[in-house]
């Protein structure tokens, strides 16, 4: 059976509204939420909050510097096929999963033509390589199970 993946043209910025990290205090699962700027964009977010549901650690950042996810190690990070597989959150992980799962992958096309800046079109070659498919899907499943139940709602 053929499974089709349609690239929705999502970019990496469509996923950074929320990302999972290791809590700096207890090293368990914590969530960083980004607040959009006044234009509603997450690209140059000014404010983020880190909340850990395990030890209660809370930190609010204003004008947080640096690129997303660089402050703390990402929770969804795994060695896979000798490479590093990572995702910001479950939506991101499951989007990658749908892509890897699909045997037919269709690009994203709008009125300006085919896009090549979508998150999927920029995935590294090893993720797109069909021979890595089964191992990547296994890694993704493991990563998904590492997310606490209460974060999956």
Q: Which residues bind Zn ion (CB under 5 A)?
A: 23, 25-26, 52, 54-55, 57
Q: Nearer to Zn ion by C-beta: 59 or 133?
A: 59
Could you tell me the smallest distance in angstroms from the CB atom of residue 76 to Zn ion? 17
Q: How far is the CB of 29 from Zn ion (least distance, A)?
A: 8
CA angle 25, 26, 28 (to 5 degrees): 125
State the pairing for strand pair 77-80/83-86.
Answer: antiparallel
Minimum distance, C-beta of residue 50 to Zn ion, in the bound complex (Å): 9
Of the pair 27, 94, the CB lying nearest Zn ion is at: 27
- What's 74's DSSP letter? B
Residue among 21 and 93 whose Cβ is closer to Zn ion:
21
Query: CA-based angle 93:99:105, to the nearest 5?
Result: 165
Q: For Zn ion, give the closer residue by CB, 56 or 124.
A: 56
Is residue 137 within 8 Å of residue 35, measured between CB atoms? no
Residues 6+ apart with CB under 8 A from 37: 43, 44, 45, 46
Q: Shortest Cβ distance from residue 20 to Zn ion (Å)?
A: 12
């Amino acid at each position: 059976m053929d499974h089709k993946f349609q690239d929705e043209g999502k970019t990496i910025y469509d996923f950074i509204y929320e990302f999972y990290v290791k809590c700096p205090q207890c090293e368990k699962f914590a969530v960083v939420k980004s607040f959009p700027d006044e234009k509603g964009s997450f690209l140059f977010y000014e404010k983020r909050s880190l909340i850990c549901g395990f030890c209660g650690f809370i930190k609010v950042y204003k004008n947080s510097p640096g690129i997303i996810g660089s402050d703390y190690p990402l929770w969804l990070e795994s060695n896979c096929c000798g490479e590093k597989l990572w995702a910001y959150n479950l939506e991101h992980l499951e989007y990658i999963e749908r892509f890897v799962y699909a045997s037919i992958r269709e690009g994203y096309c709008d009125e300006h033509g085919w896009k090549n800046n979508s998150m999927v079109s920029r995935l590294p070659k090893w993720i797109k390589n069909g021979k890595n498919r089964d191992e990547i899907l296994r890694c993704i499943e493991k990563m998904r199970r590492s997310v606490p139940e209460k974060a999956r709602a």
